[in-house]
Amino acid sequence: MNILGISAHYHDSAAALVVDGAPVCAVQEERLSRQKGDAAFPLLAIESCLQQAGMEPDELDAVVFYERPMLKFDRVLTCTLRAFPQSWRAFPKAMKNLLGEKVWMRGIISSHLGVPGRKVLFTEHHQAHAATAFLTAPTRRAAIMTADAVGEWATLSVGDGERLSNGSTKIRRFREIRFPHSLGMLYSTFTAYLGFKVNEDEYKVMGLAAYGKPRLVEDVRRLVRHTPDGAFVLDLNYFEFHSTAERSYSSRFVELFGPPRSPYEPIDFNTAEGQRFADCAASVQRVLEDTMVELAQSLHHETGLTDLCLGGGVALNGVANARLLEESGFERIFVPPAPGDAGCAIGAALYCDRIHFGNPDRDIPDHPFWGPSVDGSELARLAREDGHSAAVCEEGALIDQVADDLAAGRIVGWMEGALEFGPRALGHRSILAAPHTSEMRDRLNREIKYREPFRPFAPVVPIEAAGCYFDIPPGGARLARFMSAVFPVRREWRAQLQAITHVDGTARLQVLEPTMAPRLHALLEAYGRRTGIPVLLNTSFNLAGEPIVNRAVEGYSTFLRCKIDVLVAEGTRVMKRTSGMERTRVNMIKEEVA
């Protein structure tokens, strides 16, 4: 059975194709259209999925959209009317937005793909999140918790899932918390208040939190109050997101926390103002973690299960996830590589396959590499046309050469195989570098990523060596498989891992098993043989404001526009011409590693 899942029209659209119960392709529209966070109907992603499977649209048995448009329409209409007359400005905008495309989804999908309307199905948004989390995880029975900003009405749900021995699958929802009471909206409100982009920059708030003290926790708790049934409500006097699209926080919020940060002002931690913003971030982070931990503890108590599957955008918060592992009572926590809305494309298709059609259960390969493959010969051709020398090497020689590059302090753009699905580069579209010095961190920030200096870089480490360099609790390696948790760097290694150690001594690491990305694993080992430390800095292969690269041509164009020294795509290696200055820098780094 061929089922296409679609997530679209909010942010980060995506498509996924499930054939006979397992994904064959999943890709975000932004990676193909090259518009970061592209929310458009994902025509390119759909085309890419069908092309990869060699399939025509009329061979699809079903096309599933990741939410129920009429339910969402009901929510927007109800909330807008409830907030009248304050909402009168927002009303036409909300209606235009919804009536323009979202409500008529069946017709839009049907006409874009030429499939009959009866083949177009819908899942609820949090059903899709739950299915992404549970059905892609290597567990047969687990509690499920999903949390995001909002879908139709639900903003958080708890339940469980079971893959039965007769091949059938059950996903149950026990309870849900409904809009406007939303942990995602609480966090996004602070994201906006701190001058960052909502739905995109939430992770910057988490990075900023490490610089602050949670001294405003009691103030944040005024905004989110516990209810006797173990849930929470937001005090709507502090928010405006439910009544207007213009601003998410109210003047009462500003009275409590002070003036908001201008997005154009850099944050200076040496000023009281800069410290206040960091303290705000630390405080909302703490309240988010505490609330998630309490909800998970009671879910653990209720289900008595050992496994928890987490879904929704809130599951991208690696600090909260590490605390859940430590304190919730669950022994194993699974977070998919794409827990956010893009990931719902896979979840919607799998939910439809297992629950709607009742097709038999299947194990899903435990990796994030569902996108288009990179072509090394394309890179060789592009580089040669430009007069760069491009070497095509066999595997062992390439690994040795790139390990030499990294040990010599060169920054490497690394492309191999299929593109990652989800927001993180997990070894197929990565910028790799030596993780040892703060100079390397500053160089990457200044010359390649052009981003705020307070944001840390992430490391990747082979599973065999992870415990030596990082303090990983039981179950932590699983959570770090897709970079879903933040754990401490061992104190004795922090001086030699400066570029990936955050100000609070932690790192958002990826623990790599050889079977998931064998070439990167071999590269880590080869780098370890040269430097004694098999750890590399691994950051997504993109420039600020651009989506992660997909094809060789995008990698090559990025390589030309920034100071990446070496570019690798499959077996092809291209190096920039070296200057005298670069040779001096390489010698300096060689000395520091020694």
Contact residues: Fe ion, CB under 5 A: 148, 341
Nearest distance from C-beta of residue 313 to Fe ion, angstroms = 6
The residue (of 126 and 204) whose beta carbon lies closer to Fe ion is 126
Which CA distances in Å does 118 have to 50, 57, 124? 20, 14, 18
The residue (of 148 and 420) whose beta carbon lies closer to Fe ion is 148
The residue (of 15 and 390) whose beta carbon lies closer to Fe ion is 15
The residue (of 147 and 407) whose beta carbon lies closer to Fe ion is 147
Nearest distance from C-beta of residue 148 to Fe ion, angstroms = 4
Residues 174 and 234 sit within 8 Å (Cβ to Cβ): no
Print burial letters for 528-546: b (CB count within 10 Å at least 16), e (below 16).
Answer: beebebbbbbbbbbbbeeb
Nearest distance from C-beta of residue 508 to Fe ion, angstroms = 21
Nearest distance from C-beta of residue 480 to Fe ion, angstroms = 23
Which CA distances in Å does 302 have to 296, 305, 306, 385? 10, 8, 12, 63
The residues that bridge with 413 in the sheet, in sequence order, are 431, 567
Nearest distance from C-beta of residue 312 to Fe ion, angstroms = 5
Residues 563 and 448 sit within 8 Å (Cβ to Cβ): yes
- Cα Rg, the chain, nearest whole Å: 24
Residues 132 and 346 sit within 8 Å (Cβ to Cβ): yes
Nearest distance from C-beta of residue 123 to Fe ion, angstroms = 12
479 three-class SS: helix
The residue (of 148 and 152) whose beta carbon lies closer to Fe ion is 148
* Plot region of 435 (φ>0 → left; ψ -120 to 50 → alpha; else → beta): alpha
55 class by beta-carbon count within 10 Å (0-12 exposed, 13-18 middle, 19+ buried): middle
How crowded is residue 465: how many other Cβ atoms within 10 Å of its Cβ? Answer: 17
Nearest distance from C-beta of residue 469 to Fe ion, angstroms = 34
Q: What is the largest CA-CA distance in the chain?
A: 70
Nearest distance from C-beta of residue 160 to Fe ion, angstroms = 20
Could you tell me the two tokens for 422? 């989800």
Alpha helix locations (H) across 114-244?
125-135, 183-193, 202-209, 217-223
Nearest distance from C-beta of residue 245 to Fe ion, angstroms = 18
The residue (of 148 and 416) whose beta carbon lies closer to Fe ion is 148
Residues 432 and 406 sit within 8 Å (Cβ to Cβ): yes
**Pairing state between β 390-392 and 307-311:** unpaired
Residues 536 and 406 sit within 8 Å (Cβ to Cβ): yes
The residue (of 289 and 341) whose beta carbon lies closer to Fe ion is 341
The residue (of 184 and 376) whose beta carbon lies closer to Fe ion is 184
- What is the C-alpha separation between 411 and 405, in angstroms, rounded? 8
The residue (of 199 and 430) whose beta carbon lies closer to Fe ion is 199
Residues in contact with 8: Cβ distance below 8 Å, sequence separation at least 6, in sequence order: 14, 29, 39, 40, 41, 42, 65, 66
Nearest distance from C-beta of residue 144 to Fe ion, angstroms = 14
Nearest distance from C-beta of residue 309 to Fe ion, angstroms = 15
- What is the C-alpha separation between 365 and 2, in angstroms, rounded? 18
Residues 280 and 190 sit within 8 Å (Cβ to Cβ): yes
Please, what is the end-to-end C-alpha distance for the chain in angstroms? 57
The residue (of 307 and 341) whose beta carbon lies closer to Fe ion is 341
The residue (of 113 and 145) whose beta carbon lies closer to Fe ion is 145
Nearest distance from C-beta of residue 405 to Fe ion, angstroms = 40
The residue (of 124 and 148) whose beta carbon lies closer to Fe ion is 148
The residue (of 48 and 157) whose beta carbon lies closer to Fe ion is 157
30 backbone dihedrals φ, ψ, rounded to 5° = -60, -30
The residue (of 10 and 454) whose beta carbon lies closer to Fe ion is 10
Nearest distance from C-beta of residue 566 to Fe ion, angstroms = 38
Nearest distance from C-beta of residue 287 to Fe ion, angstroms = 20
- What is the C-alpha separation between 216 and 290, in angstroms, rounded? 14
The residue (of 30 and 341) whose beta carbon lies closer to Fe ion is 341
400 three-class SS: helix
Whose CB is nearest to Fe ion?
Answer: 148
- What is the C-alpha separation between 248 and 260, in angstroms, rounded? 12
Could you tell me the two tokens for 454? 């307070």
263 class by beta-carbon count within 10 Å (0-12 exposed, 13-18 middle, 19+ buried): exposed
Nearest distance from C-beta of residue 155 to Fe ion, angstroms = 9
